[in-house]
């Protein structure tokens, strides 16, 4: 898939900001790169203090493979729910914490940050989602051979999840262990993680890090 430049923009509406329907991660450097992260399964679970979303195109068992296949996981925690007509649309507001794990060519990078999202539906329904209208992510840690093509970057778009607490926790545990193994230190990915807390791996068909590394 060819890389495309994306002019990151949002539309101001009567009740707030509207997110694009397609979920994408876009670098904000001099050479913008877009990572589509719309493929895969999305699940969520209701925790005591937040709502946790896991979006991935990898199965939990694939994290046990060596090397782990190229792919992505996006982990988002909704910390508080804005109210249309009552919550001011502030570009600096943050109600979602994010972690993005990137695996390509056997290398791994962990991105983190925060953002602002409008919920879609009601928590506890079989389908519940987020319209992520703005965010800011940067590389937190990586394996030695990882090439950072995204920092700083943002994720925008629509995330629609199925209520499945067990699947959400299973993927979170598998991804957390994979990150810990790769970085040789504990990097907890999940509720109460220090700093931003989303997980996401992205596929090499969107950005081939190995090819980019060889061309430098």
**pLDDT of 196 over the 90 cut:** no
Q: Considering the chain, what is the average pLDDT of its residues? A: 75
pLDDT of residue 139: 93
Least confident span in 3-12, 95-104, 112-121, 185-194:
3-12
List residues bridging with 157 in a β-sheet: 132
Q: Give the predicted TM-score (pTM) of the model.
A: 0.74
Average pLDDT over every residue of 84-107: 78
pLDDT of residue 205: 26
* 31-61 pLDDT, tens digit each: 888 877 778 899 999 987 789 999 998 888 8
- Return all residues near 63 (Cβ < 8 A) that are at least 6 apart: 174, 175, 177, 178
Q: Locate tokens 């629509």: which residue? A: 158
| Closest by Cα among 212, 185, 181, 206 to 39 | 206
pLDDT of residue 142: 92
């Amino acid at each position: 898939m060819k890389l495309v430049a994306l002019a990151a923009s949002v539309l101001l509406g009567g009740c707030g900001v509207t997110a694009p329907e397609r979920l994408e991660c876009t670098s904000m450097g001099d050479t913008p790169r877009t990572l589509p992260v719309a493929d895969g399964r999305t699940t969520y679970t209701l925790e005591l203090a937040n709502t946790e979303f896991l979006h991935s195109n990898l199965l939990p068992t694939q994290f046990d493979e060596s090397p782990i296949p190229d792919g992505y996981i996006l982990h988002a925690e909704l910390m508080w729910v804005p109210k249309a007509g009552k919550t001011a649309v502030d570009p600096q507001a943050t109600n979602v914490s994010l972690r993005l794990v990137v695996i390509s060519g056997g290398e791994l990078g962990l991105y983190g940050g925060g953002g602002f999202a409008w919920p879609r539906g009601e928590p506890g329904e079989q389908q519940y989602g987020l319209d992520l209208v703005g965010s800011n992510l940067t590389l937190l840690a990586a394996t030695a051979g990882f090439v950072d093509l995204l920092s700083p970057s943002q994720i925008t778009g629509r995330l629609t999840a199925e209520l499945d607490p067990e699947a959400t926790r299973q993927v979170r545990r598998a991804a957390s262990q994979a990150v810990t193994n790769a970085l040789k230190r504990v990097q907890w990915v999940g509720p109460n993680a220090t700093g931003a807390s989303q997980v996401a791996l992205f596929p090499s068909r969107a950005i081939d890090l190995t090819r980019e590394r060889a061309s430098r």
